């Protein structure tokens, strides 16, 4: 089964699930259409998870439509002993472009508990929607109504019993970079550094601006790539505006970068960064656009003047990790910069004595999050950091006592 992406005339990219004959799977695609408010990446993941379900149905020659109509009942052995076991096994995706999903051949490899949980949730939601769709098409006096309702409750009960909790994980003190790692990163990407990666000065300057925007304002890669030139408002109070926009029909990137969370206005208070962004727009971006005859208002452009693709950002971080592996951490990713911004902002507010509830609200706004609960990880990170500092001081005091005792014993 294949998961392909089609481009809607409005500019929105929509994934579709195709069967082995290359024909769309109606129910799965209808379910995705009514969830099209989610990001394309999430919808693609949902369809790949449903591809496992339909591959399992085909392998057992089960008529899914008959099961939804109450003509055939799923047994507990089929759901718990066969389907859920199939969801626990890794699938192989031969190519990203083709999006082919097939069951791994040879040795079976179990997926992580989180992956299994996401697959099971998707299957439960999809099957529940199919049952509700069928029930909604029946008359209130139809004798099949009670049978389908009982079947729906049976399937939901069996699948819910197969859910597992995520196992405890060892968490690091902080999800971002340490202070010395931030200093090393800025030098590694500095356009004045002769070893900085880039084909020419324009590319090196652009790479530096990308990293500094993400590190200074905690933007996601997609938020940086969707910025327009007019989103940087220069003036007495220079601001960077992060806006949620409709899909751009002229944006040919696939997938299109999208802002998944809230927009926000971020005040730019660093004169040096303001001057560098202004130089990038007026000099480096303009030169690239004129050289290749491009005409669009996206802020970050590729080497050929087109809007920069998200894969280019990921590849850039992979390159600099390898190029400067002696000074940069192996887990450096674009997301690490966002975590660094959040952790350092939380630390600054905590040192100023800002109450915890207020810190959560501030972080939620600055990060563009709708829920303050998602900020608890940074609150916990700061608590762990303080606990580590206290423990280190205690250890130093303990060892001083030990050394003092040794000196006293030798003198006696």
Given a cut of 80, whether residue 52 has pLDDT beyond it is: yes
Q: Which two tokens stand for residue 207?
A: 């790479």
**Of residues 147, 162, 155, the one with CA closest to residue 125:** 155
Given a cut of 70, whether residue 402 has pLDDT beyond it is: no
Neighbours of 184 (CB within 10 A): 18
Distance of CA 298 to the CA centre of its chain: 22
Task: Assess whether 260 and 120 both reside in one domain.
Answer: no
Which of these three, 130, 161, 192, is where a domain ends? 161
Sheet containing 239-242, strands listed edge to edge, beginning at the edge strand earlier in sequence: 232-233, 239-242, 264-267
Q: How many structural domains compose the chain?
A: 3
The average pLDDT across 329-356 equals 89
CA-based R_g, the chain, Å: 27
Task: Assess whether 7 and 127 both reside in one domain.
Answer: yes
* Confidence tier at 411 by pLDDT (50, 70, 90): low
Using the Cα atoms of residue 329, residue 333, residue 334 and residue 339 in order, give the sign of their dihedral. Answer: negative
Given a cut of 50, whether residue 99 has pLDDT beyond it is: no
Which of these three, 276, 310, 333, is where a domain ends? 333
Task: Assess whether 196 and 328 both reside in one domain.
Answer: yes
Task: Assess whether 187 and 325 both reside in one domain.
Answer: yes
Task: Assess whether 262 and 364 both reside in one domain.
Answer: no
CA angle 141, 145, 148 (to 5 degrees): 175
Task: Assess whether 382 and 329 both reside in one domain.
Answer: no
The winner for highest mean pLDDT among 39-48, 222-231, 354-363 is 222-231
**Of residues 199, 190, 259, 182, the one with CA closest to residue 228:** 259
Residue 172 lies in a domain: no
Q: How many residues does the chain have?
A: 412
Q: Which domain holds residue 188?
A: 179-333
Whether the CB-CB separation of 285 and 206 falls below 8 Å is answered with yes
Given a cut of 70, whether residue 301 has pLDDT beyond it is: yes
Given a cut of 70, whether residue 173 has pLDDT beyond it is: no
Task: Assess whether 226 and 150 both reside in one domain.
Answer: no
Neighbours of 343 (CB within 10 A): 23
Using the Cα atoms of residue 279, residue 234, residue 336 and residue 120 in order, give the sign of their dihedral. Answer: negative
CA distances from 249 to 10, 246, 311, 408 (A): 6, 9, 20, 80
pLDDT, greater one: 87 or 93? 87
Residue 189 lies in a domain: yes
Cα(336)–Cα(221) distance, integer angstroms: 11
Per residue in 359-393, pLDDT (tens digit) is 889 888 998 888 887 777 777 766 666 677 777 77
The average pLDDT across 85-92 equals 85
Residue 124's SS3 state is helix
Sorted by sequence, the CB contacts under 8 Å of residue 255 that are 6+ apart come out as 5, 13, 40, 41, 310
pLDDT value, residue 210: 96
Per residue in 120-145, pLDDT (tens digit) is 999 999 999 999 999 988 888 888 89
Q: Which two tokens stand for residue 357?
A: 């509830």
Q: Which two tokens stand for residue 388?
A: 């580590």
pLDDT value, residue 17: 92
Cα(347)–Cα(378) distance, integer angstroms: 9
Task: Assess whether 72 and 221 both reside in one domain.
Answer: no
Q: Which two tokens stand for residue 386?
A: 């303080």
Task: Assess whether 102 and 188 both reside in one domain.
Answer: no
**Of residues 231, 83, 175, the one with CA closest to residue 374:** 175
pLDDT value, residue 95: 40
Task: Assess whether 347 and 237 both reside in one domain.
Answer: no
Residue 168 lies in a domain: no
CA angle 313, 247, 335 (to 5 degrees): 30
Residue 328 lies in a domain: yes
Given a cut of 70, whether residue 166 has pLDDT beyond it is: no
Q: What is the mean pLDDT of the chain?
A: 85
What long-range pairs does 28-35 form, CB within 8 A, spacing at least 24? 28/54, 28/126, 31/126, 31/129, 31/130
Among residues of the chain, what percentage have pLDDT more than 90? 50
Which of these three, 333, 350, 371, is where a domain ends? 333
Per residue in 213-268, pLDDT (tens digit) is 999 999 999 999 999 999 999 988 899 999 988 878 888 887 788 887 788 999 99
pLDDT value, residue 400: 75
Give the domain CATH number at 224: 1.10.443.10
Residue 152 lies in a domain: yes
pLDDT, greater one: 40 or 270? 270
Task: Assess whether 204 and 309 both reside in one domain.
Answer: yes
pLDDT value, residue 274: 94
């Amino acid at each position: 089964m294949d998961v392909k992406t089609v481009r809607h005339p409005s500019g929105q990219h929509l994934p579709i699930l195709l069967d082995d004959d290359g024909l769309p799977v109606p129910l799965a695609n209808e379910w995705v259409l009514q969830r099209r408010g989610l990001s394309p990446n999430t919808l693609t993941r949902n369809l790949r998870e449903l591809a496992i379900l339909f591959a399992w149905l085909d392998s057992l020659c089960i008529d899914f439509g008959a099961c939804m109509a109450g003509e055939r009942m799923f047994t507990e052995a089929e759901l718990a002993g066969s389907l859920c076991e199939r969801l626990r096994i890794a699938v192989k995706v031969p190519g990203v472009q083709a999006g082919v999903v097939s069951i791994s051949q040879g040795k079976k490899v179990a997926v992580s508990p989180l992956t299994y949980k996401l697959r099971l949730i998707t299957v439960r939601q999809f099957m529940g929607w199919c049952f509700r769709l069928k029930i909604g098409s029946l008359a209130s006096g139809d004798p099949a109504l009670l049978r389908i309702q009982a079947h729906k409750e049976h399937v939901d009960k069996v699948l819910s019993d197969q859910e597992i909790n995520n196992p405890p994980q060892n968490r690091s003190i902080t999800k971002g970079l340490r202070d010395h790692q931030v200093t090393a990163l800025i030098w590694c990407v500095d356009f004045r550094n002769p070893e900085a990666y880039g084909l020419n000065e324009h590319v090196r300057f652009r790479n530096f601006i990308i990293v500094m925007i993400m590190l200074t304002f905690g933007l996601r890669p997609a938020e940086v790539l969707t910025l327009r030139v007019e989103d940087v408002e220069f003036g007495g109070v220079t601001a960077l505006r992060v806006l949620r926009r409709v899909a751009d029909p002229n944006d040919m990137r696939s997938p299109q970068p999208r802002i998944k969370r809230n927009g926000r206005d971020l005040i730019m208070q660093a004169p040096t960064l303001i001057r560098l962004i202004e130089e990038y727009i007026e000099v480096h971006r303009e030169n690239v656009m004129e050289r290749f005859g491009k005409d669009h208002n996206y802020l970050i452009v590729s080497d050929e003047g087109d809007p920069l693709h998200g894969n280019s950002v990921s590849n850039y971080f992979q390159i600099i990790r390898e190029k400067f592996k002696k000074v940069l951490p192996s887990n450096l990713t674009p997301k690490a910069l966002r975590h660094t911004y959040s952790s350092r902002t939380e630390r600054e507010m905590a040192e100023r004595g800002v109450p915890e509830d207020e810190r959560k609200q501030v972080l939620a706004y600055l990060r563009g999050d709708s829920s303050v609960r998602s900020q608890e990880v940074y609150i916990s990170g700061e608590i762990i950091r303080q606990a580590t500092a206290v423990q280190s001081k205690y250890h130093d005091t303990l060892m001083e006592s030990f050394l003092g005792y040794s000196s006293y014993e030798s003198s006696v």
